[in-house]
Amino acid sequence: MQNQILVQEPQTKSPKTTTSATMLVPVCNSERCANQPVRMSESSADPPFKIAYKNLLEKVGDTVQNSMLVVEECELPLIDMKQLELGEAERKACKKLIAQASQQWGFFQVINHGVPVDVVEKMRSEQMKLLRKPFQEKKALKDLNLSAGSYRWGTPSPTCLEQLSWSEAFHVQLTDILDSLAQNSLRWSMEQFALAVCEVAKELAEILAEEMGGETGIFKERCLPKSCYLRLNRYPACPTYSHIMGLMPHTDTSFLTLLHQDNVGGLQLLKDGKWIAVKPNPHALIINIGDLFQAWSNNLYKSVEHRVVANPVKERFSAAYFLCPPRDTVIQSAQIGGAVYRSFSFGEYKKQIEVDVQSIGHKVGLQRFLLPTQ
């Protein structure tokens, strides 16, 4: 098969751009006093969602979108990675299951993945400490030495309820922590988590490449932790409005995403046109196919839309690891049956998303790279 990741795109020096999702907070709030700057509690951890979304929330009231009404709960296909260490027959069967789930669901969960429990727990406790800091401190990235734009909250310009995101995150480029000499327990635990999860990610990506008959070895070689991202999500409880999105529907800009969530629940994915709620399993890692794998596999593996629904009483935490190549890596679709997408570099893909988010308010994604049909 002729699919490959080419790497000879010329280096163009572009200014370091960031897609900060930080919103301008309106300075007046009619519930208080018109034209007065809003004074948020200095110590509140929650971003000012109510203020930022005020107009939209007032306009739609507490209407419920149909898509939020009945959502069935399911268990994702479960893969026991121990099978990969047993005999040839077990290994083969396990690889088949991984490929099947990636084609039919775009999602699966793995147990016995080899990421030590204490590494997960330490990272989670540091994540909770970080994200429960006062909003103003998080916004100022105080003492964190992370790139501008790493702290994100909400949706920049939502036009409908479905586009609201009642959540905040540190979206960390791993070069930021792996290159840093400054060490503290937050960085140390993020690093340990990222390095352990990266191994699982690369192993799964290689299996998927092998199962589609593609070139193998490239993920191990090219998707090093430094080109990957770690996103620490916090979803504050949302008691005031029912049926609010914690994270708006999206697909991931990665080859693969590995997610560890707590046991609150709220993650949903689109399957056969219906939203399905994922039953949480804190011992498992959730894996989903990202846009780059969908393009590289020429639509064999599915980058599926997913979202998170806010919980009215409980806050929720999750950590997502995005397996990504360096920006100059060119993704060329497998040729079988004719390539569906034109070749593009990862940098070009990210840039297009930034442009779309700024100009039309949301990511368009792979559709922008479709080749004309004959």
Q: Which positions are catalytic?
A: 316
Q: Which partner, ligand AKG, Fe ion, none, binds residue 144 by CB below 5 to 8 Å per kind? A: none
Site for ligand AKG contains 248 (CB under 6 A): no
Site for ligand AKG contains 150 (CB under 6 A): no
Burial class (CB in 10 A: 0-12, 13-18, 19+), 237: middle
Instruction: State the DSSP string of 137-192.
Output: HHHTTTTT-PPTT-EEES-SS-SSGGG----EEEEEEHHHHHS-----HHHHHHHH
Among the listed residues 102, 155, 261, 345, the single contact to ligand AKG using CB under 6 A? 261
Q: Which residue is nearest to Fe ion (CB)?
A: 252
Q: Give the side-chain half-sphere CA count within 13 A for 159.
A: 4
Site for Fe ion contains 206 (CB under 5 A): no
Tokens of 270: 């689109």
**Size of interface with ligand AKG, in residues (CB under 6 A):** 11
Q: Give the side-chain half-sphere CA count within 13 A for 358.
A: 10
Give the residue among 313, 361, 350, 324 at the shortest CA–CA distance from 155: 361
Supply the minimum distance, in Å, between the C-beta of residue 77 and ligand AKG.
17
Tokens of 182: 């400054």
Site for ligand AKG contains 202 (CB under 6 A): no
Q: In what order do the strands lie in the sheet with 4-6?
A: 4-6, 330-332, 344-345
Site for ligand AKG contains 252 (CB under 6 A): yes
Site for ligand AKG contains 231 (CB under 6 A): yes
Supply the minimum distance, in Å, between the C-beta of residue 11 and ligand AKG.
28
Among the listed residues 46, 191, 206, 252, the single contact to Fe ion using CB under 5 A? 252
Part in contact with ligand AKG (CB under 6 A); list of ranges 58-66, 146-154, 179-187, 259-267: 259-267
Draw the binding track, 143-172, toward Fe ion (x: CB under 5 A; -: no contact).
------------------------------
Supply the minimum distance, in Å, between the C-beta of residue 138 and Fe ion.
20
Among the listed residues 81, 98, 308, 323, the single contact to ligand AKG using CB under 6 A? 308
* Integer Cα distance of 17 and 355 in angstroms: 11
Instruction: State the DSSP string of 269-291.
Output: EEETTEEEEEPP-TTSEEEEE-H
State the first-to-last Cα distance of the chain, in angstroms, to the nearest integer.
22
Supply the minimum distance, in Å, between the C-beta of residue 318 and ligand AKG.
3
> Which CA distances in Å does 229 have to 2, 6, 177, 245, 319?
28, 21, 10, 23, 10
Supply the minimum distance, in Å, between the C-beta of residue 329 and ligand AKG.
20
Q: Which residue is nearest to ligand AKG (CB)?
A: 318
Site for ligand AKG contains 310 (CB under 6 A): no
Length of the chain in residues, anyone? Answer: 374
Site for Fe ion contains 291 (CB under 5 A): no
Using CB under 6 A, list all residues that contact ligand AKG. Answer: 231, 233, 247, 252, 259, 261, 267, 306, 308, 318, 320
